[in-house]
Structure 1
Amino acid sequence: MAHIIVLDDISDAGMLVRRILERKGHQVTAFTEEEDALEFVRKTPVDMAILDIKLKKMTGVEVLEELKKERPGIKAIMLTGYPTLETARDALRLGAQEYCVKPINKDELETKVAEVLGE
Protein backbone atom coordinates (compact mmCIF):
# COMPACT_ATOMS: atom_id res chain seq x y z
CA MET A 1 0.00 0.00 0.00
CA ALA A 2 0.98 3.62 -0.42
CA HIS A 3 2.43 6.22 1.93
CA ILE A 4 0.19 9.28 1.63
CA ILE A 5 0.26 12.74 3.16
CA VAL A 6 -2.86 14.85 3.60
CA LEU A 7 -2.61 18.63 3.96
CA ASP A 8 -5.74 20.53 4.96
CA ASP A 9 -5.94 23.64 7.12
CA ILE A 10 -8.95 22.10 8.90
CA SER A 11 -7.66 19.21 11.00
CA ASP A 12 -11.02 17.37 10.99
CA ALA A 13 -10.96 17.21 7.19
CA GLY A 14 -7.44 15.78 7.21
CA MET A 15 -8.37 13.24 9.88
CA LEU A 16 -11.42 12.14 7.85
CA VAL A 17 -9.28 11.51 4.77
CA ARG A 18 -6.72 9.69 6.93
CA ARG A 19 -9.34 7.38 8.47
CA ILE A 20 -10.88 6.56 5.08
CA LEU A 21 -7.52 5.69 3.50
CA GLU A 22 -6.07 3.84 6.51
CA ARG A 23 -9.06 1.48 6.31
CA LYS A 24 -7.86 0.69 2.78
CA GLY A 25 -4.42 -0.21 4.17
CA HIS A 26 -2.52 2.96 3.30
CA GLN A 27 -0.07 4.66 5.65
CA VAL A 28 -1.38 8.21 6.03
CA THR A 29 0.13 11.25 7.76
CA ALA A 30 -2.08 14.33 8.10
CA PHE A 31 -0.89 17.94 8.39
CA THR A 32 -2.50 21.33 8.90
CA GLU A 33 0.67 23.40 8.32
CA GLU A 34 2.33 23.67 4.91
CA GLU A 35 5.87 23.84 6.32
CA ASP A 36 5.38 20.65 8.34
CA ALA A 37 4.15 18.73 5.31
CA LEU A 38 7.02 19.98 3.12
CA GLU A 39 9.61 19.15 5.77
CA PHE A 40 8.15 15.65 6.19
CA VAL A 41 8.33 14.99 2.44
CA ARG A 42 11.95 16.17 2.34
CA LYS A 43 12.85 13.45 4.86
CA THR A 44 10.39 10.67 4.06
CA PRO A 45 9.53 8.87 0.81
CA VAL A 46 5.88 9.58 0.02
CA ASP A 47 3.83 8.14 -2.85
CA MET A 48 0.95 10.61 -2.87
CA ALA A 49 -0.14 13.99 -1.52
CA ILE A 50 -3.76 14.96 -1.02
CA LEU A 51 -3.81 18.74 -0.80
CA ASP A 52 -6.54 21.24 -0.01
CA ILE A 53 -6.38 24.12 -2.48
CA LYS A 54 -7.17 26.76 0.20
CA LEU A 55 -4.56 26.68 2.96
CA LYS A 56 -3.24 29.13 5.56
CA LYS A 57 -0.06 30.57 4.04
CA MET A 58 0.16 29.04 0.57
CA THR A 59 -2.26 27.54 -1.90
CA GLY A 60 -2.38 23.80 -2.44
CA VAL A 61 -1.12 24.44 -5.97
CA GLU A 62 1.97 26.23 -4.56
CA VAL A 63 2.56 23.35 -2.13
CA LEU A 64 2.27 20.89 -5.02
CA GLU A 65 4.89 22.87 -6.94
CA GLU A 66 7.28 22.62 -3.96
CA LEU A 67 6.56 18.91 -3.45
CA LYS A 68 7.34 18.21 -7.12
CA LYS A 69 10.77 19.85 -6.66
CA GLU A 70 11.54 17.44 -3.79
CA ARG A 71 9.85 14.34 -5.21
CA PRO A 72 9.20 14.66 -8.96
CA GLY A 73 7.34 11.33 -9.06
CA ILE A 74 4.86 12.15 -6.28
CA LYS A 75 1.21 11.70 -7.22
CA ALA A 76 -1.32 14.31 -6.13
CA ILE A 77 -5.03 14.78 -5.64
CA MET A 78 -6.36 18.25 -4.88
CA LEU A 79 -9.30 18.93 -2.57
CA THR A 80 -11.53 21.96 -2.96
CA GLY A 81 -14.75 23.28 -1.59
CA TYR A 82 -14.73 25.89 -4.35
CA PRO A 83 -14.18 24.16 -7.69
CA THR A 84 -13.28 26.48 -10.54
CA LEU A 85 -11.90 25.76 -13.96
CA GLU A 86 -8.86 27.90 -13.14
CA THR A 87 -7.85 25.97 -10.01
CA ALA A 88 -8.43 22.65 -11.75
CA ARG A 89 -6.32 23.76 -14.71
CA ASP A 90 -3.50 25.02 -12.45
CA ALA A 91 -3.47 21.82 -10.42
CA LEU A 92 -3.41 19.59 -13.48
CA ARG A 93 -0.71 21.72 -15.15
CA LEU A 94 1.52 21.24 -12.11
CA GLY A 95 1.04 17.50 -12.10
CA ALA A 96 -2.02 16.71 -9.97
CA GLN A 97 -3.70 13.64 -11.35
CA GLU A 98 -7.18 14.31 -9.93
CA TYR A 99 -9.23 16.51 -7.72
CA CYS A 100 -12.12 15.93 -5.34
CA VAL A 101 -14.80 18.38 -4.31
CA LYS A 102 -15.63 18.85 -0.62
CA PRO A 103 -17.49 17.65 1.30
CA ILE A 104 -15.47 14.50 0.71
CA ASN A 105 -17.33 11.53 -0.69
CA LYS A 106 -15.77 8.36 0.74
CA ASP A 107 -16.36 6.22 -2.36
CA GLU A 108 -15.13 8.92 -4.74
CA LEU A 109 -11.97 9.43 -2.67
CA GLU A 110 -11.22 5.70 -2.47
CA THR A 111 -11.80 5.28 -6.22
CA LYS A 112 -9.65 8.25 -7.23
CA VAL A 113 -6.79 7.25 -4.91
CA ALA A 114 -6.82 3.70 -6.30
CA GLU A 115 -6.89 4.99 -9.89
CA VAL A 116 -4.06 7.49 -9.38
CA LEU A 117 -1.93 4.86 -7.63
CA GLY A 118 -2.70 2.36 -10.39
CA GLU A 119 -4.25 -0.19 -8.02
Structure 2
Amino acid sequence: MERKPIDRDKTCPFLIRLLWRENEYLTPDCMRNRNEHQGPDEIRLYGWRDTNFREIADMLKEHISGARRKDADFNFSFIRQNLEGGYEVKTVGTIHFSRKSDLDSVTLHQLKFVIGDFIVLNLTYSLT
Protein backbone atom coordinates (compact mmCIF):
# COMPACT_ATOMS: atom_id res chain seq x y z
CA MET A 1 0.00 0.00 0.00
CA GLU A 2 1.45 3.35 -1.05
CA ARG A 3 1.43 6.20 1.46
CA LYS A 4 -0.31 9.46 0.71
CA PRO A 5 1.98 12.44 0.08
CA ILE A 6 2.67 14.59 3.12
CA ASP A 7 1.15 18.06 3.20
CA ARG A 8 4.13 19.92 4.63
CA ASP A 9 1.99 22.98 5.35
CA LYS A 10 -0.22 20.95 7.69
CA THR A 11 2.22 18.36 9.06
CA CYS A 12 4.65 19.24 11.83
CA PRO A 13 8.28 18.36 10.97
CA PHE A 14 10.41 16.31 13.36
CA LEU A 15 13.92 16.89 14.65
CA ILE A 16 16.77 15.26 12.74
CA ARG A 17 20.03 15.05 14.67
CA LEU A 18 22.97 14.89 12.30
CA LEU A 19 26.58 14.23 13.31
CA TRP A 20 29.31 15.16 10.86
CA ARG A 21 33.03 15.12 10.26
CA GLU A 22 35.31 15.90 7.36
CA ASN A 23 37.32 12.95 6.03
CA GLU A 24 36.54 10.86 9.11
CA TYR A 25 33.92 8.19 9.65
CA LEU A 26 32.09 8.22 12.98
CA THR A 27 31.64 4.91 14.75
CA PRO A 28 29.10 3.75 17.34
CA ASP A 29 31.72 4.61 20.00
CA CYS A 30 31.03 8.32 19.39
CA MET A 31 27.61 7.79 21.01
CA ARG A 32 29.00 6.73 24.39
CA ASN A 33 28.96 10.12 26.11
CA ARG A 34 26.37 11.80 23.92
CA ASN A 35 23.25 13.20 25.51
CA GLU A 36 20.57 15.68 24.55
CA HIS A 37 23.06 18.58 24.52
CA GLN A 38 24.27 19.60 21.08
CA GLY A 39 27.99 19.07 20.53
CA PRO A 40 30.18 20.90 18.00
CA ASP A 41 29.88 17.99 15.55
CA GLU A 42 26.06 18.02 15.61
CA ILE A 43 23.63 19.88 13.39
CA ARG A 44 19.93 19.87 14.11
CA LEU A 45 17.58 19.98 11.14
CA TYR A 46 13.85 19.57 10.73
CA GLY A 47 12.23 17.34 8.16
CA TRP A 48 9.38 15.00 7.33
CA ARG A 49 9.34 11.30 6.54
CA ASP A 50 9.34 12.21 2.82
CA THR A 51 12.47 14.39 3.13
CA ASN A 52 14.99 13.11 0.61
CA PHE A 53 18.76 13.11 0.87
CA ARG A 54 19.25 15.83 -1.75
CA GLU A 55 17.13 18.11 0.46
CA ILE A 56 19.27 17.20 3.47
CA ALA A 57 22.48 17.89 1.52
CA ASP A 58 21.08 21.27 0.44
CA MET A 59 20.18 22.15 4.06
CA LEU A 60 23.72 21.27 5.14
CA LYS A 61 25.19 23.81 2.73
CA GLU A 62 23.81 26.50 5.07
CA HIS A 63 25.71 25.05 8.06
CA ILE A 64 28.98 23.63 6.70
CA SER A 65 31.17 25.78 4.46
CA GLY A 66 32.91 22.74 2.93
CA ALA A 67 29.52 21.40 1.85
CA ARG A 68 29.34 24.19 -0.73
CA ARG A 69 32.47 23.01 -2.55
CA LYS A 70 31.75 21.65 -6.02
CA ASP A 71 33.88 18.56 -5.29
CA ALA A 72 32.05 17.72 -2.03
CA ASP A 73 30.76 14.19 -1.48
CA PHE A 74 28.19 13.63 1.27
CA ASN A 75 28.63 10.08 2.61
CA PHE A 76 25.58 9.28 4.74
CA SER A 77 24.86 6.57 7.27
CA PHE A 78 22.52 6.08 10.23
CA ILE A 79 23.51 5.33 13.80
CA ARG A 80 20.69 3.73 15.73
CA GLN A 81 20.32 2.06 19.08
CA ASN A 82 20.06 -1.73 19.03
CA LEU A 83 18.10 -4.01 21.37
CA GLU A 84 21.13 -4.56 23.62
CA GLY A 85 21.41 -0.82 24.35
CA GLY A 86 24.46 -0.33 22.14
CA TYR A 87 24.60 1.41 18.78
CA GLU A 88 24.98 0.14 15.24
CA VAL A 89 25.79 1.82 11.93
CA LYS A 90 23.82 1.40 8.72
CA THR A 91 25.48 2.76 5.57
CA VAL A 92 23.05 4.77 3.43
CA GLY A 93 25.01 6.07 0.42
CA THR A 94 26.60 9.12 -1.18
CA ILE A 95 25.32 12.40 -2.63
CA HIS A 96 27.64 14.36 -4.93
CA PHE A 97 27.46 18.17 -4.84
CA SER A 98 27.68 18.76 -8.57
CA ARG A 99 26.06 15.71 -10.16
CA LYS A 100 23.05 13.46 -9.73
CA SER A 101 23.28 10.51 -7.37
CA ASP A 102 21.14 7.42 -6.87
CA LEU A 103 20.41 8.64 -3.33
CA ASP A 104 19.07 12.06 -4.40
CA SER A 105 15.38 11.15 -4.33
CA VAL A 106 15.50 8.43 -1.66
CA THR A 107 13.46 9.46 1.40
CA LEU A 108 14.02 8.91 5.10
CA HIS A 109 10.89 6.75 5.17
CA GLN A 110 12.16 4.50 2.36
CA LEU A 111 15.29 3.76 4.40
CA LYS A 112 13.26 3.06 7.56
CA PHE A 113 14.61 6.09 9.43
CA VAL A 114 13.04 6.23 12.89
CA ILE A 115 12.75 9.34 15.01
CA GLY A 116 15.66 9.03 17.44
CA ASP A 117 18.10 7.67 14.84
CA PHE A 118 21.09 9.87 14.04
CA ILE A 119 22.13 10.69 10.51
CA VAL A 120 25.91 10.63 10.18
CA LEU A 121 27.76 12.56 7.48
CA ASN A 122 31.34 12.00 6.42
CA LEU A 123 32.10 14.95 4.15
CA THR A 124 34.87 14.18 1.66
CA TYR A 125 36.22 15.94 -1.39
CA SER A 126 36.82 14.36 -4.79
CA LEU A 127 40.20 14.88 -6.34
CA THR A 128 39.49 16.85 -9.49
Is TM (by shorter chain) over 0.5?
no
Q: Between Structure 1 and Structure 2, which shows a larger proportion of helix residues?
A: 1
More strand by share: 2
Give TM-score scaled by structure 2 length.
0.26
Greater Cα radius of gyration, structure 1 or 2: 2
TM-score, normalisation: structure 1? 0.27
